[in-house]
Structure 1
Amino acid sequence: MLQVQDLHKRFGGFAAISGVSFDLEKGVVMAIIGPNGAGKSTLFNLITGHLEPSAGRVLLGGRDITGAAPHAICRLGVGRSFQRTNIFPHLSVFECVQAALLAHRGQGRNFWLRSEGLYRAETMALLASLGLQDKAESLAGELSHGNQKQIELGIALASDPDILLLDEPTAGMSAVETHETIALIARIARERGLTLLFTEHDMAVVFSIAQRIGVLHQGRLIAEGDPQAVRADPEVRRVYLGERS
C-alpha cells in the first residue's frame, strides 16, 4: 500500500529525516514512535505532501507521489489528521463532516446548489459510526477535546481513504477519552479495511493496536518490526524507553 524509500529532509544544515525506509502492507496497523523531536510529524508531512523531501521517494500502491500536492494525495486515497486539532470550530458537527463529503464528491465549488440537504444520510451515517449523531447540531468548537478529535477523524474518513495517517490521535486526552478513542479507531479501521499509520507517545496505546512499529530517533529509523521484536530491541530500550544495557 505504502512504500517509503530512503527519505531525507533537511532544513538548512539540520537533517530532520535521514534515510527512512519502510513498507506498509494493505490492512496493516503500524505505529511510528520516538521521543519528541524525533521527526514523526515531519515524516507524516513528507508522506502527505505538506513538505517536499530533499531526497527519496514515496510510493502509494506503486505510484510515485513524491512531492505531490496534499489535495492530490488526498484524492488518491490518503486521509490525514493532525497533531493540533484541525476542524471548523464555527460550524456544526454535521456541517464539518458534510463539508468534507461535499469536497470529496466534487461539490465544493458548486455555488448554485443549497447544501443543507446534500449527502445528509451519508453524513449522519458517518457521525453515527463515530458516536456523534446526538451532537450533530452542536457547534464543533464548543465540544470537548476528545469529541473534536472524533470530528477530525470524521473529516478524514469523509474522503473515503484507503490509508489513514493519524498524528498523535490521543494527544491531550484524559485516560477515559484515550481508551474510547483508540477503541473507536481500531473498530473503524477493522470495519473499513483501512491501512493505518499513526504516531503516538502512549506506549499502552501503541502496543494495544499496532501490528507493526517503527522507531524514529534523531530522524533515523532505528528499528521496525512486530511489537514483540521492537519491545525487545536493545537500542529501542536504550534510546526510547531509557533503559541501560
Structure 2
Amino acid sequence: MPVLEVCGLSKSFGGFRAVSDVDLVVAEGEIAAVIGPNGAGKSTLFSLITGHLQPTAGRVLVNGRDITGVAPHKICGMGLGRSFQRTNIFPKLTVLENVRAALLAHRGQGPNFWSRANRLCHGEAQALLASIGLSVHAPATAGTLSYGNQKQLELGIALASDPKILLLDEPTAGMSASETHETIALIERIARERRLTLLFTEHDMAVVFSIAHRIAVMYQGRVIAHGDPVAVRADAQVRRVYLGDQPVGPRS
C-alpha cells in the first residue's frame, strides 16, 4: 500500500485553478520530487496535502486513511511533517530552544515551554541537533545563523514531530553550491537513518536528478509527466515547457 496518495486533487481561488486534478502516489521509503516552473502549483499542492489549504475537489490518503480536511496539527500527529519554502523558525530563540519547543509541541506540552517541563526534552533536543550537525550552534540565537544553517534548523524542527513522511518545499533554495551539496547529503543521510519517505520540490535539477527515485512534473496546475528520472528527462513535453537546455545530469 502506498504511504501517500493524492487522488484528483484540485484547488480554485475564485476563477483561478491553482491545482487541477492531480494524482500522485508515493511508496514507503521512496524519495519523490515534484518539479515545475514558478506558479506551477507545487507549494499549493503541498499545502493541500498537509491541511494548510482545503481542496476544492479530491482526496489525500496517508497509509490508506483519508486525511482530507483534517487540521494540520492532527496531520502532523499522523506522521506527516513539512518544511516550508521560507524559513519557519523562532529567530529570537536559541537553536536549542527552537528544537526543544518543537519536541514539547509534539508531546502536547507547548504551553509549558517556560516551565521545568522543557528540561525533560533537553537531552533529546541535543541529540537531534547532533544528528543534523548543529550541536555547535545550540546556544546561538537562531536568527543569527547563516541561511543554510537556518534551513538545517528547520529540518530539525520538522524531525522533532518524528514523521514517517516528510515534505520539503525547496530545501536548497537560496543556498550556495557548497551549502546545497551539504544539505542534500544531510537529507539523504537522515532519510536513510530514519527510514523516511520524502516528497520534495526543487528548482535545482542537478539535485532532483541525483537523489529522486520518481519525479512528477507540474505545469499550470496539472501533472504533465511522472516517472523515473530517465523517463522524465527524455519526455518531450517536459523539455519544452520546463527543462529546456538545463543540465540535468547527476552531481559529481
TM-score (norm 1): 0.97
Report the counterpart of residue 179 of structure 1 in structure 2. 181
Q: 1:152-167 alignment to 2 at 5 Å?
A: 152-167=154-169
Is contact 2:100-2:118 (8 Å) kept? no
Is contact 2:81-2:158 (8 Å) kept? yes
Residue 198 of structure 2: SS of its match in structure 1? strand
Deviation at 1:212, TM superposition (A): 0.5
Q: Quick one: which of 227, 230, 243 aligns to 2:232?
A: 230
Report the counterpart of residue 40 of structure 2 in structure 1. 38
Instruction: Spell out, residue by residue over 1:120-151, the C-alpha distance to the aligned partner (whole angstroms, 9 max, x if none).
Output: 11111110011100110000000000000001
Q: 1:40 to 1:111 in 2, by over 3 A?
A: closer
Q: Quick one: which of 4, 12, 16 aligns to 1:2?
A: 4
Q: Quick one: which of 135, 147, 154 aligns to 1:145?
A: 147
> Structure 1 CA distance, aligned partners of 2:40 and 2:126?
39
Residue 120 of structure 2: SS of its match in structure 1? coil
Q: Quick one: which of 61, 68, 71 aligns to 2:70?
A: 68
Deviation at 1:107, TM superposition (A): 1.5
Q: Quick one: which of 91, 94, 97 aligns to 1:92?
A: 94
Opposite residue 103 of structure 2, the aligned amino acid is: L
Q: Quick one: which of 194, 197, 207 aligns to 2:196?
A: 194
Instruction: Spell out, residue by residue over 1:26-49, the C-alpha distance to the aligned partner (whole angstroms, 9 max, x if none).
Output: 100000000000000000000000
> Structure 1 CA distance, aligned partners of 2:53 and 2:108?
25
Overall identity of the aligned pairs, in %: 72
Is contact 2:112-2:118 (8 Å) kept? no
> Structure 1 CA distance, aligned partners of 2:76 and 2:85?
18
Opposite residue 174 of structure 1, the aligned amino acid is: S
Deviation at 1:242, TM superposition (A): 2.6
Deviation at 1:68, TM superposition (A): 1.0
Instruction: Spell out, residue by residue over 1:70-120, the C-alpha distance to the aligned partner (whole angstroms, 9 max, x if none).
Output: 101001001100000000000000000000001112221347941452211
Residue 218 of structure 2: SS of its match in structure 1? strand
Q: Quick one: which of 229, 236, 244 aligns to 1:242?
A: 244
TM-score (norm 2): 0.94
Opposite residue 201 of structure 1, the aligned amino acid is: H
> Structure 1 CA distance, aligned partners of 2:124 and 2:213?
31
Query: Any gaps of 5 or more consecutive residues in structure 1?
Result: none
Residue 171 of structure 1: SS of its match in structure 2? coil
Q: Which runs of 4+ in 1 moved over 6 A?
A: none
> Structure 2 CA distance, aligned partners of 1:39 and 1:220?
8
Query: Any gaps of 5 or more consecutive residues in structure 2?
Result: 246-252
Report the counterpart of residue 217 of structure 1 in structure 2. 219
